[in-house]
Amino acid sequence: KKSALATAVAGLALCAPATAGNPLFSDIFTADPAALVDNNRVYLYVGHDEAKPEDKDYVLKEWRVYSSCDMKNWKAHGAPLNVQTFAWAKADAWAADITKRNGKYYFYATVEHKDKPGKAIGVAVSDSPTGPFKDARGSAIITNDMTKETDIAWDDIDPAVFTDKNGQAYLYWGNQVLKYVKLKPNMIEFEGPIRTVAVPHFTEASYLHRRGNTYYLSWSRHFPEETVYSTGPSATGPWTYRGLIMEKNANVNTIHHAIVDFNGKSYIFYHNAKLPGGAEFRRSVAVEELHYNADGTIRFVPQTDE
């Protein structure tokens, strides 16, 4: 096993001159970015959109992993996670999120459950950000019981994991209704009840991050989706709506995003469908620098091709 120093040095050694632009990857269609900064590298986890032009739904079977030391050159690490990572899942490698805890990497992912209705969320674990990953529980951490009249088959999707300064971890997720739960330090069990959060026009793709003492809860609203956010004094609010981060895409309804700091700058990853041949189920991940105003609000982010 490599020491932390050896891993960091190996990461730096892979730095090469800048070449790439948006969309980040042009060999395959990619969606639903999740990002992790670790040992001087950014790791990016994306769903692999395999739909053909004539397909009328998502075809997502695996998550691809990439990493970069400069946000421009990306090294491909293959697909260390797929639907089969979860023996209880049967399809749909939808949106995911990842975090590091006690030297392990926990990947929370949306999949279609074999035996329970609709989508569920699983958690996989690895000793490395590039895998191999294995199911951390052997069962879904969140399932859909479809007991409420308002339940829909895809309301338990899009996990976003966040660890607060005091070590308390939270899992946010949902579609139409935003929910969250505290996680135990083992990261694979709930600590307390599931709660719902009222934010305006919530569609899906919640994301939680902190800057100083301000917590930022961002999400996709409406459909076609646009990225908006609220701020609050804690990981659970109360939330004050702040406005638009990114406007809707031209030829795809979704925009799923992730926000990270890396080498002194902030970035927002998202997807559009600007890769040639792109469409609703053939998306492409892109990144923009994200800027804060002096008062802590986030400046509107235009999409670029750079």
Which chain residues interact with ligand FUB by CB under 6 A? Answer: 31-32, 47, 58, 60, 94-95, 110, 157-158, 204-205, 254, 256
Of residues 69 and 275, the one with the C-beta less far from ligand FUB: 275
Report in angstroms how near the CB of residue 242 gets to ligand FUB at its nearest.
21
**Does 50 qualify as catalytic in the annotation?**
no
Query: Within 13 Å of residue 270, how many CA atoms lie on the same side as its CB?
Result: 33
Tokens of 131: 């895998």
* Beta carbons of 111 and 119 less than 8 angstroms apart: yes
Nearer to ligand FUB, 157 or 273 (CB): 157
Residue 105 vs 108, nearer CB to ligand FUB: 108
Nearest to 282 by CA among 110, 28, 4: 28
Q: In the complex, what is the shortest distance from the CB of residue 27 to ligand FUB, in angstroms, rounded to a whole number?
A: 19
Residue closer to ligand FUB, measured from CB, 41 or 282: 282
Q: How far is the CB of 238 from ligand FUB (least distance, A)?
A: 25
Q: Please say if 97 is a catalytic residue.
A: no
**Closest separation in Å from C-beta 44 to ligand FUB:** 15
Looking at beta carbons only, is 218 or 254 nearer to ligand FUB? 254
Q: Give dist(CA 302, CA 227) in Å, integer.
A: 11
DSSP letters, 174-220, are: EESEEEEEEE-TTSSSBSS--EEE--TTEEEEEEEEEETTEEEEEEE
- Which one of the listed residues 92, 112, 158, 204 is annotated catalytic? 204
Comparison of 109 and 136: residue with beta carbon closer to ligand FUB? 109
Cα separation, 107 vs 178, in Å, equals 20
**Count of beta carbons in the 10 Å neighbourhood of residue 121:** 25
Residue 74 CA to its chain's centroid (Å): 18
Q: How far is the CB of 157 from ligand FUB (least distance, A)?
A: 5
Which residues neighbour 26 within 8 Å (Cβ) at sequence distance 6 or greater? 275, 284
String of DSSP letters for 42-111: EEEEEEEE---TT-SS--EEEEEEEEESSSSS-EE----EEGGGSTTEEE----EEEEEETTEEEEEEEE
Q: Which helix (H) or strand (E) holds 161?
A: strand 160-163
Order of strands across the sheet that contains 284-290: 258-262, 265-272, 284-290
CB of 110 to ligand FUB, least distance (A): 5
**Whole-number Å distance between alpha carbons of 91 and 110:** 10
- The catalytic site residues sit at 32, 204
